[in-house]
Chains A and B, each alone.
Chain A
Amino acid sequence: MLDLLSGFIVELRNAGLPVSLTENLDAMEAIMHIPLEDREAFKYALGATLVKNHSHWRSFETVFEVYFSLRGPEYAIDGTGEGNADLDEFMRQMQNLQGQGEGKGGGTMDGLTPEELMNILMNALMNGDQAMMRALAKQAVQRFAGMEPGRPVGGTYYLYRTLRNLDLDGMIDKLMEASRQQVGGELTNLEERLERDEYQDRIEKFKQEVEAEIRRRLVADRGAEAMAKTLRKPLPEDVEFMHASRDEMQHLKKALQPLTRKLAARLARKRRHGRKGPLDFRNTVRHSLAYGGVPAEPKFKYPRPAKPELIVVADISGSVAAFARFTLMLVYAISNQFSKVRAFVFIDGIDEVTEYFKKTEDISEAIHRINTEADVIWVDGHSDYGHAFEVFWDKWGKEISPKSTVMLLGDARNNYHASQSWVVKEMRAKARHVYWLNPEPKSYWNTGDSIVGEYGTFTDGVYECRNLRQLEAFVEKLA
């Protein structure tokens, strides 16, 4: 047990979770008070002692599943695929079903045709039958995933194969149809929506069962350590913007909100607790009246540094679009820390999008409008920094003042067009600061058609912003 636990903690650290020695000891102590056969309690005991940040919980869960998936009676796995544990369970399930007169096939599930299996699955989903869903997940994986021991394929491949065979999207429509029949007529919009949400939730649970089942089998095949390595997911703040999957994007988005709140609070605090200023004579005299004219309570003038004005110029062509979106979201979420924020987006043409943010409180809607409405294509829709900068300078260049800070976002992959880097030079001469944020790893800079170095010489600094952590650090420095 101790070995397993220390392996588990090493893996947590590998996944990027900061687990200190005392936390480790706490975890050891905690599990002594918990009955080991209670898997949920065990999990929460470890979670409470080891994970101190909610955004790390998902990583923790993955590692936990890998290390402790083979333990616990209800998770007994049959190594051969036709062992007795599963079979018994199926038998019981089937008998239950038959008793209710809902099931079709008899004997074991192995003998069922796919259609029958689908019917049982549909029934289970209709009734929200947890145990049945778990058994079905097992059966589905066994039947459809086609897992071969020792084959070096990731779990996602098996998951995909299983789910494709089950056709869960079609299932939702069928379920909706069935519930319509049950009511005997049409559902109102609201009811329909609620039903759909309910089924989606159940199907999601079923998917998780399938995923867990695949993971269990893989762990049994390859061992926990190897498995943990392949499943290791970066923490949300370490996910790279440029290579984030859709799922990771969702998590990034969720992570962004609390982050902006924290950032805003921190910046506001920073602004308030500046250096102490000189004596405020007038205020001190005013307060001395309370002490009969004795200036017992000196008052100071606190400096109020002016809030910077921010001009964001972002490349939103395919490769860096996600990065631009996140930066704009972040900047607008803390826009009260700046006296003014203006946003421009470009691909090979450039357009101002400040208005989109002004009209709505909903940042994601504004981002959506940028993607659909902004006029950013000039010739062919491939990034042309040179042309975009030139137009920017002609149209809006005179509005850059010594108060403004200019942020240029993009990978500076210019498709071998003219760079027009004099624009950046001119900008720097007029603006307070000009910064360039590049979502690419530093080692890729100035390779191929990237000319970030050429632009960079005219800015006050080029920063690598591959993930939320780096972006946050930059923005904090800025305000």
Chain B
Amino acid sequence: MSNRFESVQEVREGLKRVNYLADEGIAGVAYLADRLGKPVLIEGPAGTGKTQLAKSVAELTGARLIRLQCYEGLDESKALYEWNYKKQLLRIQADKGSDGWSEIHDDIFGSEFLLTRPLLEAITAEEPVVLLIDEVDRVEVETEALLLEILSEYQVSIPELGTITANQIPLVFLTSNNTRELSEALKRRCLFLHVDYPQLEREKEIVLTKVEGITDALADQIARIVRSIRQLDLKKAPSVSETLDWARTLVLLGIENIDAEKAKETLHVLLKYQTDIAKAAKELSND
């Protein structure tokens, strides 16, 4: 199997080209995922670019992104495959009386009657794909087991058809908001990546690349204020996406230089709880 990336550095630069600023850890794990052919489990606070990483890698490698959004109650027929029973019924009725039972039986359980769902689709795809299993912590523990076969062997077993093995090993990303402990079995099969709030310099760079028409000085100020706010004991610390929203707001308002007053007026973009806003406003205005 040919590798997608030559070096960690290449991953990092490539991601930068598609406007995703990866740090050493993120690029390193993405590189390893390709080399080892293992899925990556991405964990971290909401809004730090977990899902975006998968999208960016797909963009970088020119692969198709197949996304499975997890939710409670997700089952086999939504995640893996389902028999198209309506079509099967039609087939049986169309042939009424002509064929023997065994022929029909063999026929209606062919791949023609199989509805592929995201996981199976990723396996059977001919072209390169990136599979994103989003918010995997939302499914029940039992459903998690569905993923195990595909994650370790890159194959799906269908009782009537046999085992379908992947043509090529797709890059797989799983994201989790850590609302519950994932099973050991799942964790063992994955590389683990924790995406945290970015360092000051990286956040500034992110703001600079993602927000149009922002000055260097303003981006610097934004990153530093956000860092100060994150150090407070808040219900929900501002995420990167909220930082970006805030930066865009400031640009739209034509603010060049943030002072305490302006910061207070726009804090509600950054923080989503009234108590947090009050606390931050208090902290910012008097030291």
**Smallest beta-carbon distance A104→chain B, Å:** 29
Write out, one digit per residue, whether chain A residues 403-442 have a CB within 8 A of any chain B CB (1) or not (0): 0000000000000000000000000000000000000000
Pairwise interchain contact B36-A30, C-beta atoms closer than 8 A: yes
Pairwise interchain contact B227-A197, C-beta atoms closer than 8 A: yes
The docked-state distance in angstroms from the alpha carbon of A361 to that of B272 is: 14
Q: Hey, which chain A residues are within 8 Å of B140, CB to CB?
A: 269
| Known A33-B35, A38-B8; contact A48-B224, beta-carbon cutoff 8 A | no
Q: Hey, which chain B residues are within 8 Å of A262, CB to CB?
A: 178-181
| Known A33-B35, A52-B187, A194-B224; contact A45-B285, beta-carbon cutoff 8 A | no
Asked whether any CB of chain A lies closer than 8 Å to the CB of B203, the reply is: no
**Smallest beta-carbon distance B258→chain A, Å:** 7
Asked whether any CB of chain A lies closer than 8 Å to the CB of B212, the reply is: no
| Known A30-B32, A48-B29, A364-B233; contact A192-B287, beta-carbon cutoff 8 A | yes
The docked-state distance in angstroms from the alpha carbon of A53 to that of B259 is: 40
Write out, one digit per residue, whether chain B residues 77-104 have a CB within 8 A of any chain A CB (1) or not (0): 0000000000000000000000000000
| Known A188-B260, A197-B227; contact A47-B43, beta-carbon cutoff 8 A | no
Asked whether any CB of chain A lies closer than 8 Å to the CB of B153, the reply is: no
The docked-state distance in angstroms from the alpha carbon of A262 to that of B283 is: 30
Q: Hey, which chain B residues are within 8 Å of A118, CB to CB?
A: none
Interface on B for A, CB 8 Å cutoff?
Answer: 7-8, 24-25, 28-29, 31-32, 35-36, 38, 40-41, 43-44, 140, 178-181, 184, 187-188, 190-194, 200, 221, 224-225, 227-228, 231, 233, 235, 258-260, 263, 273, 275, 279, 283-287
Asked whether any CB of chain B lies closer than 8 Å to the CB of A246, the reply is: no
Write out, one digit per residue, whether chain A residues 329-352 have a CB within 8 A of any chain B CB (1) or not (0): 000000000000000000000000
Nearest 5 pairs between A and B by C-beta? Answer: A44-B28, A52-B187, A33-B35, A48-B191, A54-B194
Q: Hey, which chain A residues are within 8 Å of B191, CB to CB?
A: 26, 30, 48-49
**Smallest beta-carbon distance B125→chain A, Å:** 25
Write out, one digit per residue, whether chain A residues 25-69 have a CB within 8 A of any chain B CB (1) or not (0): 010011001110010110011011101111001000000000000
Asked whether any CB of chain B lies closer than 8 Å to the CB of A229, the reply is: no
Among B25, B224, B273, point to the contact of A197 (Cβ < 8 A). Answer: B224
The docked-state distance in angstroms from the alpha carbon of A33 to that of B38 is: 13
Pairwise interchain contact B287-A40, C-beta atoms closer than 8 A: no
The docked-state distance in angstroms from the alpha carbon of A182 to that of B38 is: 52
Pairwise interchain contact B260-A190, C-beta atoms closer than 8 A: yes
Among B28, B43, B187, B231, point to the contact of A45 (Cβ < 8 A). Answer: B28
Pairwise interchain contact B228-A193, C-beta atoms closer than 8 A: yes
The docked-state distance in angstroms from the alpha carbon of A40 to that of B284 is: 35
The docked-state distance in angstroms from the alpha carbon of A201 to that of B201 is: 12
The docked-state distance in angstroms from the alpha carbon of A30 to that of B37 is: 10
Pairwise interchain contact A190-B35, C-beta atoms closer than 8 A: no
**Smallest beta-carbon distance A450→chain B, Å:** 34
Asked whether any CB of chain B lies closer than 8 Å to the CB of A198, the reply is: yes
| Interface bin, chain A | 35 or more
The docked-state distance in angstroms from the alpha carbon of A192 to that of B286 is: 10
The docked-state distance in angstroms from the alpha carbon of A198 to that of B25 is: 23
Among A23, A189, A364, point to the contact of B287 (Cβ < 8 A). Answer: A189
A to B CB contacts below 8 Å, 6 in the list: A18-B184, A34-B32, A51-B192, A54-B178, A190-B225, A261-B178
Pairwise interchain contact A52-B36, C-beta atoms closer than 8 A: no
Q: Hey, which chain A residues are within 8 Å of B263, CB to CB?
A: 190
Asked whether any CB of chain B lies closer than 8 Å to the CB of A164, the reply is: no
Among A29, A41, A201, A266, point to the contact of B200 (Cβ < 8 A). Answer: A201
Name the interface residues of A141-192: CB closer than 8 Å to any CB of B.
188-190, 192
Pairwise interchain contact B224-A23, C-beta atoms closer than 8 A: no
The docked-state distance in angstroms from the alpha carbon of A269 to that of B137 is: 13
Asked whether any CB of chain B lies closer than 8 Å to the CB of A265, the reply is: yes
**Smallest beta-carbon distance B282→chain A, Å:** 11
**Smallest beta-carbon distance A402→chain B, Å:** 32
Pairwise interchain contact A47-B25, C-beta atoms closer than 8 A: yes
Write out, one digit per residue, whether chain A residues 185-225 have a CB within 8 A of any chain B CB (1) or not (0): 00011101110111001000000000000000000000000
Pairwise interchain contact A48-B32, C-beta atoms closer than 8 A: yes
Write the chain B residue with the least CB distance to A29.
Answer: B36
Among A33, A41, A194, A364, point to the contact of B228 (Cβ < 8 A). Answer: A194
Pairwise interchain contact B36-A44, C-beta atoms closer than 8 A: no
**Smallest beta-carbon distance A295→chain B, Å:** 23
Q: Hey, which chain B residues are within 8 Å of A261, CB to CB?
A: 178-179
Asked whether any CB of chain B lies closer than 8 Å to the CB of A80, the reply is: no
| Known A33-B35, A262-B179; contact A361-B188, beta-carbon cutoff 8 A | no
The docked-state distance in angstroms from the alpha carbon of A155 to that of B32 is: 35
Q: Which of A44, A51, A197 has the most chain B CB atoms closer than 10 A to its own CB?
A: A44
Q: Hey, which chain B residues are within 8 Å of A34, CB to CB?
A: 8, 28, 32
